[in-house]
Amino acid sequence: MNAQSKGTTNAISAFYDGKMFSIFFVEFPPQAEKSLIDQNPSFNFIYICDAFQGFIIVLDGIPGDGMNEVWQEVQIVFNTLVPQQFFTDNDILAAASLGLITLVKTNEFYTCPVIGKKPK
């Protein structure tokens, strides 16, 4: 993630199932990240593409629809596909299964409370 949001609380935009939401985005400290990896068997994923400027992150869950409190960052690497914005985790997983993108799990973990739909 970009340096502006690391370790700070910012309301940012994120897609979930094609809809835009606002979330707070806070990275856990390094010691907490290690503990989370060691002790938590289940995470949600927050899909990010640092190499594609302007990419809006994509969530794989929201409150009431399969959300855990802990999110692991997954970087999207575009292989043969022209970099583009994805709107759902299903589209990301489909592109990965076709080899168009590669998904790289990082050791960065966040708490990302969803605070509501993005106003139009």
Rounding to the nearest 10 degrees, give the CA dihedral for residues 40, 49, 13, 9.
60
User: How many whole angstroms from its chain centre is CA 66?
Assistant: 14
Per DSSP bridges, beta strands 71-78 and 44-48 are: parallel
How many other C-beta atoms lie within 10 A of the C-beta of residue 50?
Answer: 12
Least confident of 14-18, 25-29, 30-34, 75-79: 30-34
**Is the separation of the CB atoms in 2 and 45 below 8 Å?**
no
| pLDDT for res 7 | 40
Q: Phi first, then psi: give them for residue 95, nearest 5 degrees.
A: -65, -40
Q: What is the pLDDT of residue 96?
A: 97
Report pLDDT digits (tens) over 13-28. 999 999 998 888 788 8
